[in-house]
Amino acid sequence: MRISWISVFSISSNNFKNSFYNVFHVVNMARRVVRAVSSLLDLYEIDSSYTRFDQKYEMFARSSWDQSLPLNKSVDNILETIDNKIREGASGFTIKDYALMQGAWAITTASEFETGNMGLLSWKPLSFKRNPSSVQLFQMWKSKNNDSNLQKLHGTPDEMSFILKRAAKTYGANLVGICELDHKWVYSHHWVRPDNVHKKIVFRNVAEPDETDEEFIIPSDVKHAVVMAIEMDIELLHNSPTPLCEATTGLGYSKMVFLSASLAEFIRGLGYTAIPCANDTALSIPLAVSSGLGQLGRSGLLITPEFGPAVRICKVLTNMPLQKDKPVEFGVTQFCQNCRRCAESCPTEAISFGERTKEATTISNNAGVLKWPINPEKCLASWRKNGFSCSNCIAVCPFNKINGYKSLATEDGDPEQWWT
Ligand code: SF4
Ligand code: SF4
């Protein structure tokens, strides 16, 4: 689907509502001022009784053990739907759309990533396993060299942050921010699939991160999170919900794995500890907000000034001396009070139309943080029913860089046009 700025401003009778949002968006963009706030508490109201979230209750983990979930449409039914759609040549559901989706997930598929310390997201250095000779020679030099001044790069937090961000951008990050690693955002436990093992995440005075039969151990000197956002393809998003749209989700996940693994190896090469994470180990959105990448929206997604909610987030936890960034405020909470566009576009009413609350609506919400709660059970149920993910709430958000107007989420569009 091709987008022009002329169409952003066009108002036709059958597209009036979207055009209203577009004009609203442009006005909002013009007056939007991104300002730094002194602490996360200026953006998040958090109860003192808040406790660390257990990954066991995250929806994908729950779908492996919680028999009470209304998730299960039988695989046979989904296969029948896929068969019908591909035979019909339904737009957005052709074999080339499914193939684009398959290719986009390739790196993720090849590297288990749901739980920490797996595949490319290993908590141990990757370079010792199999290296090109250049990296091997660097490692051999390191292991022979005893001069601690040479083994490690030293610098001020500002200098170290500068080179870290330069490397992250080189590996493909569109946005990078740094925050202190607040333990409240680290999962209390990992849920390790496919064996469904429940392991505590603890902080200890140890030299290296480790995993035992009972625990994941993070060294106590790991005090920073480097949080990175990867832009999603807005044109693919506008074809939500289809397998064609899911290609941008899969690509986001594959880039998350690539990016966090690459930055972790870079940090290890500098002589510091690095724990690469996709969605695992800690809650990405509060860390992203703390790092100044954006604010939390009604949709439960991170809204960035640069790309709206059309981003995927990954992070690396490290003991490098770094300069933390400040959270930013650019009017998201006030805008979301009146907008509700994501809630209107949700096929399962998983997004709240009401006010923010600290109450949990399901066991998959972490209570004690003032926010619009989403209902992840309803959301995932719709994904399972379709056999692919949905991105309606991302596609329609007026904070997107190129604002959504003709989207399958709200209008009749033609995904086949994406290929032209
Ligand atoms: S992804 Fe789709 S189903 Fe889930 S909350 Fe967003 S709009 Fe609703
Ligand atoms: S669609 Fe509207 S209400 Fe939803 S997150 Fe975006 S700005 Fe907020």
pLDDT reported for residue 386? 83
Could you list the beta-strand ranges (E) of 311-357.
Answer: 311-318, 328-329
Output the CA angle 189-352-338, nearest 5 degrees.
130
61-70, 158-167, 299-308, 340-349, range with the lowest pLDDT? 61-70
pLDDT reported for residue 228? 98
At residue 35 the predicted structure's pLDDT band, cuts being 50, 70 and 90, is: confident
Q: What is the DSSP letter of 31?
A: H
At residue 25 the predicted structure's pLDDT band, cuts being 50, 70 and 90, is: low
Residue % of the chain over a pLDDT of 90: 64
Q: Whose CA is nearest to atom 8 of ligand 2?
A: 336
Burial of 134 (0-12, 13-18, 19+ CB in 10 A): exposed
At residue 397 the predicted structure's pLDDT band, cuts being 50, 70 and 90, is: very high
Q: Whose CA is nearest to atom 7 of ligand 2?
A: 336
pLDDT tens for each residue of 315-334 = 999 999 999 999 999 999 99
In the predicted structure, residue 58 carries a pLDDT above the cut 80: yes
- The distance in angstroms from the start CA to the end CA of the chain is 8
Q: Give the 3-state secondary structure of residue 265.
A: helix
Cα–ligand 1 centroid distance for 136 (angstroms): 46
At residue 16 the predicted structure's pLDDT band, cuts being 50, 70 and 90, is: very low
In the predicted structure, residue 233 carries a pLDDT above the cut 80: yes
At residue 404 the predicted structure's pLDDT band, cuts being 50, 70 and 90, is: very low
Mean pLDDT, to the nearest integer, of 110-118? 80
Cα-flanking dihedrals φ and ψ of residue 388, to 5°?
A: -155, 170
- How far is residue 378 from each of residues 39, 374, 386, 396, 415, measured CA to CA in Å? 33, 9, 13, 19, 25
Cα–ligand 2 centroid distance for 309 (angstroms): 9
Q: Whose CA is nearest to atom 3 of ligand 1?
A: 379
In the predicted structure, residue 212 carries a pLDDT above the cut 60: yes
CA distance 108 to 114: 9
Which residues line ligand 2 at a C-beta cut-off of 6 Å? Answer: 297-299, 303, 335-336, 339-342, 396-399
pLDDT reported for residue 153? 95
Q: What is the DSSP letter of 116?
A: S
- Reference 350, options 380, 318, 378, 314; nearest CA is 378
Mean pLDDT, to the nearest integer, of 271-283? 96
> Whose structure tokens read 């996709």?
278
Between helix 243-269 and helix 157-171 the angle, nearest 10°, is 140
- How far is residue 190 from each of residues 197, 214, 301, 350, 372, measured CA to CA in Å? 8, 10, 22, 25, 25
Pocket test for ligand 1, best of 351, 377, 394 (most atoms within 8 A of CB): 351
10-14, 261-265, 281-285, 347-351, range with the lowest pLDDT? 10-14
Contact of 234 with 247, CB cutoff 8 Å: no
At residue 12 the predicted structure's pLDDT band, cuts being 50, 70 and 90, is: very low
Q: Which two tokens stand for residue 15?
A: 């597209």
CA distance 274 to 282: 14
> Whose structure tokens read 């209107």?
344
The edge-to-edge listing of strands for the beta sheet with 175-180 is 175-180, 224-231, 311-318, 274-277
CA distance 101 to 363: 31
At residue 7 the predicted structure's pLDDT band, cuts being 50, 70 and 90, is: very low
Return the ligand number nearest the Cα of 398: 2
Pocket test for ligand 2, best of 340, 392, 400 (most atoms within 8 A of CB): 340
pLDDT reported for residue 109? 87
pLDDT reported for residue 1? 33
At residue 289 the predicted structure's pLDDT band, cuts being 50, 70 and 90, is: very high
In the predicted structure, residue 4 carries a pLDDT above the cut 70: no
At residue 2 the predicted structure's pLDDT band, cuts being 50, 70 and 90, is: very low
Mean pLDDT, to the nearest integer, of 271-288? 97
Spatial CB neighbours of 363, under 8 Å, sequence gap ≥ 6 = 57, 62
pLDDT tens for each residue of 154-197 = 999 999 999 999 999 999 999 999 999 999 999 999 998 878 89
Contact of 160 with 318, CB cutoff 8 Å: no
pLDDT reported for residue 412? 58
Cα–ligand 1 centroid distance for 26 (angstroms): 25
- Reference 368, options 185, 195, 215; nearest CA is 185
Q: Whose CA is nearest to atom 6 of ligand 1?
A: 393
At residue 34 the predicted structure's pLDDT band, cuts being 50, 70 and 90, is: confident
In the predicted structure, residue 19 carries a pLDDT above the cut 90: no
19-23, 69-73, 356-360, range with the lowest pLDDT? 19-23
Higher pLDDT among residues 115 and 158, named by residue: 158
pTM of the model: 0.89
Domain ranges across the chain? 5-57+91-330+393-419
Mean pLDDT, to the nearest integer, of 216-237? 96
In the predicted structure, residue 387 carries a pLDDT above the cut 90: no
pLDDT tens for each residue of 156-168 = 999 999 999 999 9
Pocket test for ligand 1, best of 348, 362, 397 (most atoms within 8 A of CB): 348
Cα–ligand 2 centroid distance for 411 (angstroms): 17
pLDDT reported for residue 133? 79
Give the H or E element holding residue 141: helix 133-144
Cα–ligand 2 centroid distance for 349 (angstroms): 14
CA distance 346 to 349: 5
Cα–ligand 2 centroid distance for 32 (angstroms): 15
In the predicted structure, residue 8 carries a pLDDT above the cut 50: no
Mean pLDDT of the chain: 87
Mean pLDDT, to the nearest integer, of 230-235? 94
Output the CA angle 139-144-146, nearest 5 degrees.
115
